[in-house]
């Protein structure tokens, strides 16, 4: 028996779902674009995400995104060249995390972002962070922010802690392989290697200009009390990355 086609996660429906040639011009035919095809255009061409990032957002593989994106661009080209009508409707998708097919309400692009936090700065050791600053954002703007305590949760439990809060994106300093895997399993997108003022980093992320290093890891175990953590630190106190870190 073939495996059922998995609904693609869509953040919001288009503000306008039908496009026609200029009034008075003859419409030759109609082109129908599925909602999930439109979503690939919004994420890749409008928001500037890579195909990998788009796949993560939509909860599917990169090959699926590539196929939908190619089809969406072909339909857009046909709409422009053939003076056809373009309708965006139907498909196999779910809005946000709610499963469904071809249904939903128009909504804003909302996202919850967490930052490892200490004294206004991005804290540099994910596994040792005692606080996160949680940001509720909508359409690229911060609506609300609050500081939450981890209550002594170790690195193994932090991914679940963030997942329960509904966090979709984590910005942090150093982080190891074990924590990376846990965050990936929780569906949380990771931006490590960031440093500086937490609010500024979130604003930069929303503008697509966050400075981060996806290869950053952290060796913070096995040091004596009163000694450094064993990594190199910059003048701002940020943890310079190592490869082959502790996994936490």
Name which residue leads in pLDDT, 113 or 29. Answer: 113
pLDDT score at 233 = 41
pLDDT score at 135 = 96
DSSP characters for 105-146? -----EEEEEEEEETTEE-SBGGG--EEEEEEEETTEEEEEE
Beta bridge partners, 122, equal 117
Q: Which of 124, 120, 125 is nearest to 145 (CA)?
A: 120
Parallel/antiparallel/unpaired status of strands 110-118 and 93-95: unpaired
DSSP characters for 193-209? S--SBHHHHHHHHHHT-
Confidence tier at 101 by pLDDT (50, 70, 90) = very low
pLDDT score at 26 = 65
**161 CB-near residues (< 8 Å, 6+ apart):** 150, 153
Structure confidence by residue, pLDDT tens digits, 127-162? 889 999 999 988 778 999 999 998 866 656 898 899
Residue range 8-95 forms a domain whose CATH class is mainly alpha
Structure confidence by residue, pLDDT tens digits, 25-82? 666 688 999 999 999 999 999 989 988 888 888 887 777 888 889 999 999 998 888 8
pLDDT score at 27 = 66
Confidence tier at 86 by pLDDT (50, 70, 90) = very high
pLDDT score at 5 = 59
Q: Is the pLDDT of residue 98 over 80?
A: no
Q: What's the CA gap between 194 and 135, in Å, rounded?
A: 16
pLDDT score at 156 = 65
Confidence tier at 103 by pLDDT (50, 70, 90) = very low
Name which residue leads in pLDDT, 229 or 75. Answer: 75
Highest mean pLDDT among 101-105, 126-130, 193-197, 228-232: 193-197
Domain ranges in the chain are 8-95, 108-248
Single pTM value for the model:
0.52
Structure confidence by residue, pLDDT tens digits, 156-213? 689 889 988 989 889 999 988 888 878 877 778 888 999 999 999 999 888 878 888 8
pLDDT score at 83 = 83
Q: What's the CA gap between 17 and 71, in Å, rounded?
A: 17
pLDDT score at 180 = 82
Domain 8-95 matches domain 108-248 at the CATH topology level: no
Q: Is the pLDDT of residue 1 over 80?
A: no
CA angle, 51 as apex, 46 and 55 as ends, to 5°? 105
Domain 108-248 has CATH 3.90.1150.10: no
């Amino acid at each position: 028996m073939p495996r059922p086609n998995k609904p693609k996660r869509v953040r919001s429906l288009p503000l306008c779902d039908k496009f026609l040639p200029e009034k008075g011009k003859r419409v030759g035919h109609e082109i129908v674009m599925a909602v999930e095809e439109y979503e690939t255009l919004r994420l890749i061409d409008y928001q500037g995400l890579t195909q990998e990032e788009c796949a993560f957002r939509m909860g599917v593989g990169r090959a699926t995104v590539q196929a939908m994106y190619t089809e969406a661009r072909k339909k857009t080209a046909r709409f422009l060249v053939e003076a056809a009508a373009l309708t965006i409707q139907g498909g196999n998708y779910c809005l946000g995390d709610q499963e469904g097919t071809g249904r939903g309400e128009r909504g804003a692009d909302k996202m919850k972002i967490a930052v490892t936090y200490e004294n206004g700065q991005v804290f540099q050791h994910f596994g040792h962070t005692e606080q996160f600053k949680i940001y509720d954002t909508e359409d690229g703007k911060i609506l609300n922010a609050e500081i939450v305590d981890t209550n002594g949760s170790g690195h193994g439990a932090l991914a679940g802690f963030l997942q329960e809060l509904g966090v979709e994106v984590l910005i942090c300093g150093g982080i190891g392989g074990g924590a990376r895997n846990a965050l990936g399993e929780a569906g949380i997108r990771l931006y490590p290697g960031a440093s500086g003022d937490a609010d500024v980093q979130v604003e930069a992320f929303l503008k697509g200009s966050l400075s981060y290093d996806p290869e950053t890891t952290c060796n913070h175990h096995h040091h004596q009390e009163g000694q450094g953590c064993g990594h190199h630190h910059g003048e701002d106190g940020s943890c310079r990355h190592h490869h082959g870190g502790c996994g936490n």
